[in-house]
Structure 1
């Protein structure tokens, strides 16, 4: 019982303080390893009323792939000061109904944390029309963090191209060093 309360306190405190959480939908903590299911995605969130609240899947908002109402997710929280993995916990995904009291409370918290919103005060109405607001409620189990790296190779994209560096660049860089 004491260990469960300590785990719950660690999940809450670490998630509150972290600006980003890594979320993988449809995951099971025992399978929280590379090659199992969809990759984890970094998402901004707000801790509110015992759960991590997210907004996304709309124009200009973060994508929430693999997070379905009633489904499971694995949340990995990083340390705010060092950036390393701190704890991994399993969650139940709950989609909030727009304009319900729970939705209004969550959106009130999310609205204050949303940076660079294109529509300012009209943001909650846009979220109600075009986005999903989710709660990731801890299900009470935490997972052991793996020892090794969970780095995945980047997804292929035509946007990444490499060109030779300009011939004058080394001279420009050396001039800056000599001036100091």
Structure 2
């Protein structure tokens, strides 16, 4: 008869690091197979990251599919530096299931600037995907060098150049001595 081994001390520390860092960070960088890493807002619920997207007005989830894997990079909330990188198993809870409803309730509380307020869960059910990214094991070693990449294409642009007189308006002396 062989005794089953539980998780090692290192595995427990990795799990604790993943959970605590991810809970505290409002944003994670997720890279699906063949896709660029994208910043995603999320919630930590029931031992995994949940994200919602791929619908009108929601974040894109490129390369993430049910049954696939993804690389998740968690940043520090205060300094923004990389804290931990881990591999996730991607799954999609069944629409309307208990797991889906619980995840949506958590996500709804974290969604900022929603255009439809209380109708948001119904819109997510009709038009979006809710994904669960569960840690699969140990953390990945942090790279030695920089991982800078060019920015992803975006329709966001600066509207027009800053007006020439703006610096004078912003930096003029505000506390002029008063005459008595």
* TM value normalised by structure 2: 0.85
Relative distance call for 1:103 and 1:157 in structure 2 (3 A) is closer
**Structure 2: gaps spanning 5 or more residues:** 1-7
Secondary structure, aligned partner of 1:123 = helix
* Pairing partner for 1:46 from 16, 26, 43: 43
Q: Does 1:94 align with 2:91?
A: yes
**Structure 1: gaps spanning 5 or more residues:** 27-36
1:11 alignment counterpart: 18
CA distance in 1 between partners of 2:101 and 2:159 (Å): 46
2:172 alignment counterpart: 175
Relative distance call for 1:160 and 1:10 in structure 2 (3 A) is same
> Which ranges of 4 or more aligned residues in structure 1 deviate by more than 6 Å?
none
* Pairing partner for 1:131 from 128, 131, 138: 128
State how 1:1-180 maps to structure 2 within 5 Å: 1-26=8-33, 37-156=34-153, 160=157, 165-176=162-173
Aligned residues: 170
Secondary structure, aligned partner of 1:116 = coil
Deviation, structure 1 residue 25: 0.6
More helix by share: 1
Deviation, structure 1 residue 43: 0.4
Deviation, structure 1 residue 176: 4.3
CA distance in 2 between partners of 1:153 and 1:166 (Å): 28
Q: Larger Rg: 1 or 2?
A: 2
CA distance in 2 between partners of 1:47 and 1:170 (Å): 44
* TM value normalised by structure 1: 0.85
RMSD: 2.2
- The CA deviation string for residues 7-35 of structure 1, in whole angstroms up to 9 with x for no partner, is 01110111111100000012xxxxxxxxx
CA distance in 1 between partners of 2:112 and 2:153 (Å): 29
Relative distance call for 1:159 and 1:13 in structure 2 (3 A) is closer
Relative distance call for 1:149 and 1:120 in structure 2 (3 A) is same
Secondary structure, aligned partner of 2:142 = coil
